[in-house]
Amino acid sequence: MINFGDTIALNKKAQFYYNQGKFKEAIAWCYEVIKGQPNFVEVYEIMGIFLQLNGDINAAVRAYIKATEVLLDNGSVYSNLDRCLFDEYGSQIFQLVNDNPGQMSFQEYAYITNVIGGKVPGNFLIFGVGQDSLLWLGVNRGGKTVFLEDDKDWLNQVKVGCENSIEAYLVEYGTRVYLWKSLLEEYSQGNDCLWMVLPEKVLFTKWDFILVDAPAGYSEEKPGRMKSIYMAAKLAMKSGNTDIFIHDCDREVEDIYSDYFFDKGYLINQVHKLKHYSLKRY
């Protein structure tokens, strides 16, 4: 087996060939890397990009799926992906990632789809609507999927795109990212400052899956996800047997709040910027 340094060199050579317009040579070098280091996730991602740019979408999807499997090859019960799910949703996920750069990665979408797809139908609560709302409705086909959104104009726009087929509620956060430390300090002193008003049907439903991907938290003046993470924890603890997904955990607020309100013992996996916690009631 070739060593890691050689793997990097071969990977760069594959990129060099592709940049020269030599597609077949680039793919051949990718296979050389795979023969020597079959668990080198980057080569599958690069191969996926090459295939995508060359117009072979189905092959690109297969490469990205393999990259996801390698990324998850850690003994997790979720490290084996259900190929039937990706025959159905792989192209849709691929298109989402392609059309919305900077949002979830293929691996993040694939991971959530794999976990939920093996347990549906269920009750799925999502903080935030978006271009991926139709994906989640499809994955949880036959179940109850509810969205919470704080931006009225964006909510109306997404509803039109979904032909008003989604159940979604407008909510308010009343926070700013720069307040995250003071809010956590107040909470630790017994002030329930992170509670937010939600519809009764949200509060009293037992949720099987919760995804926190809103509100916006990319700048100090945005609401931040302090309350959505807290409420996800409260609802999950009340429901029991709940899978919780927190996105954008490369950011300080999401990382600290998720670890604070979900014990690290509940952390199942982290895929790129996505954390997956599982609360079980025995």
Predicted pLDDT at 121: 96
**Domain residue limits, the chain:** 4-99, 106-279
Residue 212 CA, distance from chain mean position: 9
At residue 77 the predicted structure's pLDDT band, cuts being 50, 70 and 90, is low
Q: Edge-to-edge strand order for the sheet containing 209-212?
A: 167-170, 144-149, 123-127, 209-212, 242-246, 274-279, 267-271
Query: What average pLDDT does the segment 184-202 reach?
Result: 97
CATH class assigned to 4-99: mainly alpha
pLDDT: which is higher, 77 or 271 = 271
Residue 2: per-residue pLDDT = 41
Mean pLDDT of the chain: 90
Are the C-beta atoms of 191 and 267 separated by less than 8 Å? no
Q: What CA–CA distance (Å, rounded) separates 14 from 147? A: 43
Q: What is the pLDDT of residue 198?
A: 98
Entry field: residues in the chain? 282
DSSP for the chain, please give it: ---HHHHHHHHHHHHHHHHTT-HHHHHHHHHHHHHH-TT-HHHHHHHHHHHHHTT-HHHHHHHHHHHHHHHTTTT-TTSS--HHHHHHHHHHHHHHHHHSTTS--HHHHHHHHHHHHTT-S-EEEEE---TTHHHHHHHTTTSEEEEEES-HHHHHHHHHHTTT-SEEEE------GGGHHHHHHHHHTT--TT-----HHHHTS--SEEEE--S--SSTTS--SHHHHHHHHHHHHHH-SEEEEE--TTSHHHHHHHHHHS-GGGEEEEETTEEEEEE---
pLDDT at 20: 83
Long-range Cβ pairs for the range 26-32 (8 Å, 24+) = 26/50, 27/51
Predicted pLDDT at 108: 94
CATH code assigned to 106-279: 3.40.50.150
Report the percentage of the chain scoring pLDDT > 90: 62
Q: What value does the mean pLDDT take over residues 66-77?
A: 74
Mean local confidence (pLDDT), 237-253: 96
What is the mean pLDDT of the segment spanning 93-110? 91
76: pLDDT strictly greater than 80:
no
